[in-house]
Structure 1
Amino acid sequence: MPQHLTLLLDCPVVIVAIFVCGIGGTFQYGYSVSVMTSPSAFIKDLVNKTCVQRYGVFLEQWQVSLIWSFTVSIFCIGGLLGSLLAGSLTSTLGRKKCLLINNFVAIFGAVLMLLSKRVMSFEMIMTGRFLYGINSGIGISAHTMYLTECAPKRLRGMVGVTVATFVSLGKFIGQLLGISELLGTEKEWPWLLGFNGFTALFQLLILPFLPESPSFLLLVRGDHQASDKALKRLRGDVDYSNEVEEMLEEKAALQSIPNHSVLELIQNRTVIWQLLTIIVTFTALQLCGINAVYFYSFDVLRAAGIPENKLAYAALGTGLCELSISVASFIIIESTGKKVLMFRGYMGMSAILILLTITLYLQHHVSWMPYCSMVLIFIFIFFFASGPAATTVALPGEILTQSFKSAGYTLGGTINWTGLFVLGMLFPILVEKLDNFCFLLFLFFCLICGAHVRFNMPETKNRTALEIAAEFEKMHCKGGASKQNNPTEGELCRIKTNETKL
């Protein structure tokens, strides 16, 4: 058994926290992203029936499509709002309490979903999707912060991967429950959309028994006793004195420095490379082409000869592939390192995008080419799940010190949701104009992010935020700043976090 897995098994409370936070955290995001495909025809029918019953108007196809697109896209608007709220909520309420309160948003949204068909109201589905978006936007940040702060330093990368694992699990469960043998039927589809409420209820019942983040208690609340008590519950009989010393060192460095806003993070020159890393990696996460690959997977599977009524079952393979690779990354990340996995992922995805463009272009000319495309799709998902998906979401909490963490997660979440919304609006146009060659646009973002990770980002494995900040300074400060007449600029190459006040 790998050493890091053995260490994790020595912390059973951390294992419980991983599952409880995941099922009511990023699972909600993954589930909401994938669940709308199966009941789309039933929801469009409800839109038409509602308008006929209420107004006596039978909508045209383009009008139904417009309402449907808005219903799907409003999830991103709610997610953006949630990510903007996450920073202040996690800083003022605490990570655990923020997660607890966030569950009520999902439960209320689920109630609207369950009642929408009974009362003939598609507006309730829109409102429920908006609330699910808020829940997911807050949940991604709060879930990631809570887990990475509860995990031992040596296991932080491994625990961080579980954030992406539950996204993949949510996508797969959404696909699975959506098949016609389960909840993807005309009678049961409201229960399919309301499933988020049950996972939120599960977290609401179990999470109160877990401790608050020790890092938050000590560095933000200044409660040494509560932090020590939380660490004792999370670590058990393991010696955690070194962790306490590192947190006290960071507390001393951050003495009298309040949590910074996103604007202050953007304006602060001492964390410019951490800021650029967050911007580049979170932008590439949405624009790396994974959504395009999933979109084309149905065409590829159809061209490979899979019957139309079996496509949904075949597509389950893509979700299962992403989930399996994410679980495997959970085991190898501590031995491989986050930087290596991210760089290999983007370079591998770049190569596959080129090959996939070629095979899709030739699939109507060569009979066996669709099978090559199918293999490439699964390889692409492998590189995505083991690289960007496994490493990006938890990155702000590792490369930023405590006073910047909330702002970093807010910025990352904002970029993520904005990218998802823009891609959802523009992707159909890109496909129509560029067809298979749209992959070359995503190739650009993969190459840019891969190069940035290779040359501008240090390894984060087994390092504290202060040590990582020192590595950033070592990589990018060439000594020129120390020659400036302005003392503040001359101090930019020193990692004294208490000098980061604006």
Structure 2
Amino acid sequence: MGEGLVEDNSKPKATFPLIMGVAMAVIGSAFQYGYNIAVVNAPADEIKDYFFGPLKQCENVTIIDLNATTAPCVVNKDHKSYRENMYSLAVAAFPFAGMIGSLLVGPVVAKFGRLGGLMINNLISVLSAICLGAAKPAGSFALIVIGRFLIGVFAGLATGVVPMYIGEISPKEWRGAIGVLNQLLITIGILVAQLFGLQSVLGTPDLWPFLLAFTCVPSILQSACFPFMPKSPRFLLIDQQKEDEARNTLVKLRGTDNVMTEMEEMRTEAAEQEAAGALSIPQLFRERTVRWQLITILLMMVAQQLSGINAVFFYSNKIFDAAGIPKGNPQDMASVAVGSVNVLMTIISVAIIERTGRKALMVWGFGQMIFWCLALTIILNLLVITKIAWISYLSIACVIGYIVGFAIGPGPIPWLITAELFRQAARPPAFMVACLVNWTCNFIVGISFPSVADFTGPYVFIGFMAVCIFITVFLAIVMPETKGKTFQEISNLFAKRNKVPGRASVTRDQSQKIPLKSMENHVEEQV
């Protein structure tokens, strides 16, 4: 190959393959993750009534009406707990399976590639939708649990594969904004689930199976567009040694023949991976060159979940109950308002991330969450003391303020940063570990929040606030800015902290171009 190494200073182009790859990845996969976070909230009572019998109030005692037409009220104090516990099982199946799905990220992308992994995942989504849609006709609550488990596996895989895929096909100048699109479609999925779950739409006793089964529609759309989605050029060159195909794909993605610099960076990384080999999870933890990258990512993933965000989405109605906001339309509108703000602020994050940088948005976002956790604690305590109606609505303002802080940085950036901080050899195991930690914390919050809320009462958000304080200080001290930098430059940012030598930047002079086959010897000489 006789291509010269001339620096391409032209701006990136929004080519058709890039648009299709990014759009279909986030619409077909990230959207479903968000949709299934929130979809079980609105129709909860309808599902419990159908499978476990309805509850009603009879002289201020919770009872089960065994025969609504003729029987008198029959008191059964344990029935409400049984209903709640069984439904919690279906809710918890989603994050629990997400942990399993996260462990499949590495093997799936290694065998099928990034794009192939998305297609395999679509089969899981369709199977889940069949179970969820058939649960009511079959009269089987077990199908709800199985369907939630399958879609959890899907989401666990998606949270690893999608950021990896879109990060590898994106130009470095747009990698931040494109990476945030993953979170944007998650927030849109949450909002769509809240809207579809309204009683006036699909959240009715007759239509809730369609609400749950809708999850497969984006997968079907993504599968139909599969021929137009590009493969990852980094995977083609570094993992499969298909340099010609990688270059052709990159040319189509960038809309220019001048891709020499990017190709040379990938060749350098390919030689390093060929010399050192891909990393396993145990090797990842022992590898000094990625030590602080791994620490940073894991703490960000823990903080993202233990900051309480999914407690808000899984149990928003319970929070509003505690604040004294009436059930029905007021709570529904409050949940939709929360979802709308989540989408709006993520759109703003897309617009500003390449100007403000990743670090500023993370620190500012967690800082905002600290304030609103404290404010919500004060409001909930005031409601214990006084029953003034307007105070209860301040809780909505606090939740919305909290969402603003989360959506601007802590929501989208950890997934983007995970793709940016690691070289190709370390990226799949890093995503596996990061996703596993994220989903484990997600599961812990989902399964424990109702009990913790009952125990701590109006102080439930103090624990979340402590997590936000810790991570804000850590990121302000440790996290470097990665905006507009190549993967190699980002690795060099951590070199001093990891106590390893930095790597030389990619050469841009024709006389110093090194063929792929002789790169290994060159790397050994540099070391």
TM over 0.5: yes
Q: Distance in 2 between matches of 1:130 and 1:370?
A: 36
Q: Which amino acid aligns with 1:88?
A: P
Give the Å deviation of 1:425.
Answer: 1.8
Distance 1:250 1:303 in 2: 54
Deviation at 1:210, TM superposition (A): 1.4
Q: Which amino acid is the alignment partner of residue 462 of structure 1?
A: G
Matched, 1:18 2:22: yes
Residue 15 of structure 1 deviates from its aligned partner by 2.1
Q: Distance in 1 between matches of 2:274 and 2:470?
A: 37
Q: How far off is 1:308 after superposition?
A: 3.6
SS at match of 1:256: helix
Taking the aligned partners of 2:379 and 2:238, their CA distance within structure 1 comes to: 53
Match of 1:151 in 2: 170
Deviation at 1:400, TM superposition (A): 0.6
Could you say which residue in structure 2 is the equivalent of 1:410? 432
The aligned amino acid for 2:429 is: A
Corresponding residue for residue 59 of structure 2: none
* Aligned pairs, number: 474
Cα separation, 2, equivalents of 1:32 and 1:292: 14
Contact 1:457 1:472 in 2 (8 A): no
Question: Which residue is equivalent to 1:38?
Answer: 42
Once residues 27 and 216 of structure 1 are traced to their aligned partners in structure 2, the CA distance between those partners, rounded to angstroms, is: 24
- Aligned pair in 2 of structure 1 residues 432, 92: CA closer, same or farther (>3 Å)? same
Matched, 1:334 2:338: no
On the 8 A contact 1:259/1:406 being kept in 2, the answer is: no
Question: Equivalent residue of 1:187, what SS?
Answer: coil
Of 124, 133, 136 in structure 2, the residue corresponding to residue 105 of structure 1 is 124
- State the distance in 2 between where 1:494 and 1:215 align: 22
Distance (whole Å) between structure 1 residues aligned to residue 317 and residue 47 of structure 2: 24
Indicate the residue corresponding to 1:85 in structure 2.
Answer: 104
* Cα shift readout 1:451-477 (whole Å, capped 9, x = no counterpart): 221111111111122211211123454
Deviations 1:79-127 (A, max 9, x none): 1111101111112210001101110111011111111111211111111
> How far apart in 2 are the matches of 1:451 and 1:77?
30
Identity in percent: 31
2:335 equivalent to 1:315: yes
Distance 1:41 1:305, change over 3 A: closer
Aligned residue among 46, 52, 58 for 1:48: 52
Within-5 A mapping of 1:469-484: 469-475=491-497, 477=499
Please tell me whether the aligned partners of residues 298 and 315 of structure 1 are also in contact (alpha carbons under 8 angstroms).
no
Quote how far apart the aligned CAs of 1:291 are: 3.2
Change (3 A) 1:374 1:117: closer
Alpha-carbon shift at residue 253 of structure 1 (Å): 2.9
Aligned residue number for residue 3 of structure 1: none
Deviation, 1:274, is: 0.7
* AA at the equivalent of 2:477: F
Measure how far apart 1:299 and its partner are.
4.6
State the partner residue of 2:386.
365
For normalisation by structure 2, the TM-score amounts to 0.85
CA deviation string 1:383-442 (max 9, x = no partner): 100011120112221001100000111011101111111111221121111112121111
SS in structure 2 of the partner of residue 180 of structure 1? coil
**What displacement does 1:495 show?**
4.4
SS in 2 for 1:29: helix
Shift of 1:366: 7.8
In structure 1, distance between residues paired with 2:201 and 2:11? 39
Query: Which of 166, 189, 199 matches 1:180?
Result: 199
CA RMSD of aligned residues (A): 2.4
TM-score w.r.t. structure 1 length? 0.89
Partner amino acid, structure 2, of 1:26: A
In structure 2, stretches of 5+ residues that fail to align are 1-9, 54-65, 67-75, 505-519
Q: In 2, distance between residues paired with 1:293 and 1:103?
A: 28
- Aligned AA (2:26): G
Correspondence 1:255 to 2:278: no
Q: For 2:345 and 2:31, how far apart are their aligned partners in 1?
A: 16
Deviations 1:264-323 (A, max 9, x none): 111222211011011100000101122344546765588586664332123101001001
Distance 1:440 1:302 in 2: 16
- Comparing 369-378 with 428-437, greater Cα deviation is found at 369-378
What residue is the counterpart of 2:296 in the other structure? 277
Which letter maps to 1:370?
S
Task: Give matches, 1:191-210, under 5 Å.
Answer: 191-210=210-229
> Which runs of 5 or more structure 1 residues have no equivalent in the other structure?
1-5, 53-57, 478-491
1:493 is displaced (CA, Å) by 3.8
Bigger Rg, structure 1 or 2: 2
Relative to structure 1, is the Cα distance of residues 107 and 256 closer, same or farther in structure 2, using a 3 angstrom cutoff? same
Equivalent position to 2:371, from 330, 346, 351: 351
Q: Within the alignment, does 1:459 sit opposite 2:481 as a pair?
A: yes
Match of 2:345 in 1: 325
User: Which is worse superposed, 340-349 or 39-48?
Assistant: 39-48
Aligned to 1:393: 415
Q: Are positions 1:69 and 2:69 aligned together?
A: no
For the structure 1 residues 7 and 390, does the alpha-carbon distance in structure 2 shift closer, same or farther, using more than 3 Å as the test? farther
- Give the SS at the match of 2:415: coil
